[in-house]
Amino acid sequence: MTTTFTRIHPPPAREVAGIHADVLFPGSHPGDPSLPFVAMNMVSSLDGKVSAGGKSGSIGSPVDREAMRTLRSKADAVMVGAGTLRAERVSLTSEGLRTPEPFAILASRTLDLPIRNLLHAEKERTIILTSEDSPRRRRDILEGYGIIVACGEGSCGATGLRDGLERLKEEYGIGSILLEGGSVLNHSLVSGSLVSEIFLTVSPKLIGGESIGILSGEELSSFPEAELLSIHMEKASSGSQTAPEVFLRYLLPAGFR
Ligand SMILES: NC(=O)c1ccc[n+]([C@@H]2O[C@H](COP(=O)([O-])OP(=O)(O)OC[C@H]3O[C@@H](n4cnc5c(N)ncnc54)[C@H](OP(=O)(O)O)[C@@H]3O)[C@@H](O)[C@H]2O)c1
């Protein structure tokens, strides 16, 4: 199967080797060098849903998964919330595109993490951000994984995450993070002005139902307007069974990121 890709924006449109192949992440947050740079990457249906039947796997195509691996290969770490791990089997590696593989970061207050069954990542490169009140017996079970206690009871929102990100940079040298959901964790980080860019794949599928979009939480205090950085599409694909997706890259506004 021969696949070619077009970058439609910025003009002029041109053929490119791969989706997001030209992306380079900086080594820190643009407004605070003590924090890593964070870019969110999500796939959504045409009606704005990020899961179908409680899982995201059926929304994106193999082309989307390849674009995701490309982005992972550019980041020092890939991060998800515990809800995502509890929902489905998760691989947070670039599948060999990057050596060493990016760190895998999980956020969880409860430490209810089916990590051995559902996470595919190297144990010694997996770090868990948790809170002071997480159950001791669960922390003991997770011996051998990196554990950062980033917040206390009642302080586990964006402030706790900011402290956790600072420690990831300081203790592990993590300068860039690809945040891969889910919607609750995305909202915490976006509302804390900790996310600089959003990569969004729009799939032509319609899902319906009650499921959520890329952010889940209270309305944001201002409605930040993101700047469109790029649009990519698959150009031609002989033998492909799937209709093409649109790959969008946005920059969140200064003062918000
Ligand atoms: N389409 C896509 O691209 C995509 C990507 C990823 C996931 N998904 C879908 O999204 C759904 C899961 O998303 P979700 O929004 O329910 O869950 P989620 O955001 O993955 O995880 C939420 C959990 O993260 C932990 N967390 C959140 N904020 C934290 C903080 N400040 N400090 C420490 N831990 C924190 C908590 O874990 P504890 O409860 O353990 O304390 C919280 O319950 C699934 O259906 C999945 O398939 C879709």
Please say whether the beta carbons of 217 and 191 come within 8 A.
yes
57 vs 40: CA distance, rounded Å:
17
Are the C-beta atoms of residues 92 and 104 closer than 8 Å to each other?
Answer: yes
Nearest CA to ligand 1 atom 36: 108
| Residue minimizing CA distance to atom 27 of ligand 1 | 185
CATH of 26-48+60-251, one of 3.40.430.10, 3.40.50.1970, 3.30.70.330, 3.40.50.12780: 3.40.430.10
User: What residue ranges do the domains of the chain occupy?
Assistant: 26-48+60-251
Long-range contacts of 156-163 (CB under 8 A, 24+ apart): 156/109, 156/131, 157/188, 157/192, 158/188, 158/189, 158/191, 158/192, 158/193, 158/194, 159/192, 160/131, 161/107, 161/129, 161/188, 161/189, 161/192, 161/194, 162/35, 162/192, 162/194
Length of the chain: 257
Tens digit of pLDDT at every position of the chain (257 positions): 567 899 999 999 999 999 999 999 999 999 999 999 999 999 999 999 999 999 998 999 999 999 999 999 999 999 999 999 999 999 999 999 999 999 999 999 999 999 988 888 889 999 999 998 888 889 888 989 999 998 776 667 777 899 999 999 999 999 999 999 999 999 999 999 999 999 999 999 999 998 889 999 999 988 999 999 999 999 865 556 668 999 999 999 988 88
CA-closest candidate to residue 18, choices 176, 198, 233, 201: 233
Atom of ligand 1 nearest to the CA of 130: 33
Mutate to test the pocket of ligand 1, among 115, 184, 203 (most ligand atoms within 8 A of CB): 184
- The owner of tokens 């200064």 is 254
Measured by CA distance, the residue closest to atom 38 of ligand 1 is 108
What's the alpha-carbon Rg for the chain, to the nearest Å?
18
For the entire predicted model, the pTM comes to 0.96
Residue among 118, 183, 186, 216 whose CB has most ligand 1 atoms within 8 A, to mutate: 183
At residue 232, the pLDDT reads: 97
How far does the centroid of ligand 1 lie from the alpha carbon of residue 111, in Å? 12
- The per-residue b/e assignment along 189-209, b for 16 or more CB within 10 angstroms, e otherwise, is bbbbbbbbbbbbbbbebebee
Strand ranges in 45-125 using DSSP code E only, listed in sequence order: 77-81, 90-91, 103-107, 119-120
Q: Which residues line ligand 1 (CB under 6 A)?
A: 42-43, 50-51, 54-56, 59, 80-84, 87-88, 107-110, 112, 129, 156-157, 160-161, 180-185, 188, 216
